[in-house]
Amino acid sequence: MLLRGSHVIAEAAVRAGCRFYFGYPITPQNELTEYMANALASLPDGVFIQSESELAAINMVIGVSMTGKRVMTSSSSPGISLKQEGISYLSGQELPAVIINTMRGGPGLGNIAPAQGDYLQATRGGGHGDYRTIVLAPGSGQELADITRMAFEYADRYRIPVIILGDGMMGQMMEPVEFPDPIDPKSLPPKPWVLDGAEGRPSRIIKSLILDTSAMEEHNWKLFRKYEAISREVPEMEQFLTDDAHLAVIAYGTASRIAKGAIKRVREMGLKVGLLRPKTLWPFPKRILLQMSRTISDFLVFEMSAGQMLEDVKLSLEGRGRIHFYGRPGGIISTPDEIAKVINNIYFKEGLERE
Amino acid sequence: MKKVFGRPKSMKDAVFHYCPGCGHSIIHRLIAEVIDELNIQGKVIGVPPAGCAVLAYDYFDIDMGEAPHGRGAAVATGLKRSLPDRIVFSYQGDGDIAAIGTAETIHAANRGERITTIFVNNGVYGMTGGQMAPTTIIGQISSTTPGGRNEDRDGVPIDLSEMLAIAKGSVYIERTAVDSPKNIVRTKKAITKAFKAQMAGLGFSLVEVLSPCPTNLKMTPVQASEWIGSTMTTYFPLKVIKDTAGKL
């Protein structure tokens, strides 16, 4: 099927057994909301509400998630800021949910052009309190489909909100996609913690208020242990032409597509350059990156921001390798030629060996 | 010996943390009695607020899911849309519903969500220590209106229930009080009708309950209850504000 990115996410969500969607209009991701409106209207168990605000949407997500059913919301940067209250509650209450952020230029109202300025917000929790969310960064149409399916799996497996971090370019881009078989929501394993009326069992509470400080500490450590397990089990990184590389570009999402184009160009000139593309931004694939530093001396972090993932690269490499940065914030989309020039510059300046 | 009065089945065997003379414990009990009488303990899901009543889940022996401050109607919407045959209610204070959660509440009512809201109006922010609430009356002294609520500066007490009555999706809205035995009986009747309206699938229902907060009003329990009848009801008259539900 040939579909634009926003529609791929929506279709993949429905096929993952998601029958509940709540959202508020915001550019550049309205196509996703509109697709869900159509798709869920045609399903007998589908529920779509255009909410009065992003705050309302994320709180409706909380309500559905409490009943154990797969549920999604989507927005773009300013709207995601509003959802952070609910994301913090979902985290504290250990509720699964999938949240799509089609990033745009910021801060503030910014613009509607593709950008990657919400990296730190997404990977550092984003709302109040000591928590993390799984953050997935698709790099192609096919991956939008696959990652959306995974997002629901992870959300249920770890009882955690999962954020798919894309941008307007990803959302509009049309590529051929093969979808996995649809899941019947009724076939999903029952969750033993849901609220559905306490018929025939003791009543349950889902809450995040823990007034006793020792109990609150233990809850935080419990979350921490979960995050540790996720950090071991979930990180993923695509490696492209890295076997013989002296320099690796590190980029995710749309930036990684631009970087790939640039790498193909400089490879033709005999420069040994590869790409490292994190598919998970939290947990960041730091172990893989650290391993790469045995053979790669130079790392160029390329982001559509003033430098946010850069912090994770520095933390992961623990002082190994030379780290370079190139980024353009505000919704500017660099061209592959522009990045090729940047690579060239670094390559020659550092005196790296050519073929 | 015949037992004539006991703890409702839908209440846990727990000691209320509420202050002496506080209305929450009465209202909790009334809701539990109604749940028992309608025989819906195993089908009801409650949404407690942020505020003094956040710990409601320690007292109700029913499924409960906590909402962020003011978002009770949105969380209840999600619960109800997912489980249309369950009975979902939110329990919210005046600050929760009439200040921070106004948008969620009005739109839930306007969509005609089949949920019930118990709106406890005591005219102050209780848990945070007695600040001005959206329903604090003119001249009332609070920790943030040391000279009394001033209309020019603070606006007038908001008539949220009357506003909600305008919404087409609301079917039953009544304002009651728990300041006297007579009004407590009326409150229970109103809660019963509100739940029944939901169970009949008619639309959004709400009972606003004027409730004493002696601690933050700096009154004795008796004075606080008397203040409701003498002063608060002049701004918030007790009445059926809307009833298109008919006889249930």
Nearest-CA neighbor of A265 among A338, A162, A173? A338
Inter-chain contact A56–B54, Cβ cutoff 8 Å?
Answer: no
The average pLDDT across A232-239 equals 98
Contacts of B44 in chain A (CB under 8 A): 197
**Which pLDDT band holds residue A26 (cuts at 50, 70, 90)?**
very high
What's the whole-number average pLDDT of chain A? Answer: 97
Spatial contact of A282 and A315, defined as CB atoms under 8 Å apart: no
Q: Residue B1 has what pLDDT? A: 81
Helix axes A253-268 and A336-349, enclosed angle (nearest 10): 60
Inter-chain contact A203–B61, Cβ cutoff 8 Å?
Answer: yes
Inter-chain contact A60–B78, Cβ cutoff 8 Å?
Answer: yes
Inter-chain contact A62–B111, Cβ cutoff 8 Å?
Answer: no
Token couple for B176: 């009651």
pLDDT digits (tens, 9 = 90+) for A204-216: 999 999 999 999 9
Q: Residue B84 has what pLDDT? A: 98
pLDDT digits (tens, 9 = 90+) for A68-123: 999 999 999 999 999 999 999 999 999 999 999 999 999 999 999 999 999 999 99
Spatial contact of A18 and A43, defined as CB atoms under 8 Å apart: no
Helix axes A54-66 and A77-92, enclosed angle (nearest 10): 30
Q: Which of B54, B57, B81, B89 to mutate to test the interface with A (most CBs of A within 10 A)?
A: B81
Whole-angstrom distance, CA of residue A164 vs CA of residue A13: 12
Share of chain A above pLDDT 70, in %: 100
**Which pLDDT band holds residue A175 (cuts at 50, 70, 90)?**
very high
Whole-angstrom distance, CA of residue A66 vs CA of residue B75: 9
- Kindly tell me if the per-residue pLDDT of A152 is higher than 90: yes
Inter-chain contact A55–B71, Cβ cutoff 8 Å?
Answer: yes
Which of B41, B54, B71 lies nearest to residue A198, judging by beta carbons? B41
Q: Residue A307 has what pLDDT? A: 98
Q: Give the class (CATH, top level) of A237-349.
A: alpha beta
- Kindly tell me if the per-residue pLDDT of A183 is higher than 90: yes
Residue B40, min C-alpha distance to chain A (Å): 9
Where are the extended beta strands (E) located within A180-321? Answer: 205-206, 237-240, 247-250, 273-278, 280-282, 298-303
The residue ranges of every structural domain in chain A are 2-197+221-233, 237-349
pLDDT digits (tens, 9 = 90+) for A245-273: 999 999 999 999 999 999 999 999 999 99
Give the domains, in start order, of chain B with CATH numbers: 24-243 (3.40.50.970)
Chains A–B, number of C-beta pairs less than 8 Å apart: 129
Q: Which of A40, A67, A85 to mutate to test the interface with B (most CBs of B within 10 A)?
A: A67
- Kindly tell me if the per-residue pLDDT of A355 is higher than 90: no
CA distances, A128 to each of A83, A307, B96, B237 (Å): 12, 23, 19, 40
Q: Residue B125 has what pLDDT? A: 96
Residue B182, min C-alpha distance to chain A (Å): 32
Contacts of B79 in chain A (CB under 8 A): 63-64, 66-67, 195
Token couple for B170: 């609301």
- Kindly tell me if the per-residue pLDDT of A131 is higher than 90: yes
Q: Do domains A2-197+221-233 and A237-349 have the same CATH topology?
A: yes
Backbone angles phi, psi at A270, to 5 degrees: 90, 10
- Can you say whether the dihedral through the CA atoms of B32, B38, B41, B44 is positive or negative? negative
Inter-chain contact A207–B57, Cβ cutoff 8 Å?
Answer: yes
Inter-chain contact A53–B64, Cβ cutoff 8 Å?
Answer: no
Per-residue pLDDT of chain B (248 residues; tens, 9 = 90+): 888 899 999 999 999 999 999 999 999 999 999 999 999 999 999 999 999 999 999 999 999 999 999 999 999 999 999 999 999 999 999 999 999 999 999 999 999 999 999 999 999 999 999 999 999 999 999 999 999 999 999 999 999 999 999 999 999 999 999 999 999 999 999 999 999 999 999 999 999 999 999 999 999 999 999 999 999 999 999 999 999 999 99
Q: Residue A338 has what pLDDT? A: 98
CA A225 distance to own-chain centroid: 21
Spatial contact of A37 and A7, defined as CB atoms under 8 Å apart: no
Inter-chain contact A66–B65, Cβ cutoff 8 Å?
Answer: yes
Q: Give the class (CATH, top level) of A2-197+221-233.
A: alpha beta
Cβ burial of B105 (10 Å; 0-12, 13-18, 19+) is: buried
In chain A, the residue whose alpha carbon lies closest to the alpha carbon of B57 is A205
Give A50's contacts (C-beta < 8 A, 6+ positions apart): A23, A24, A25, A33, A37
CA distances, A3 to each of A73, B67, B90, B246 (Å): 20, 37, 41, 51
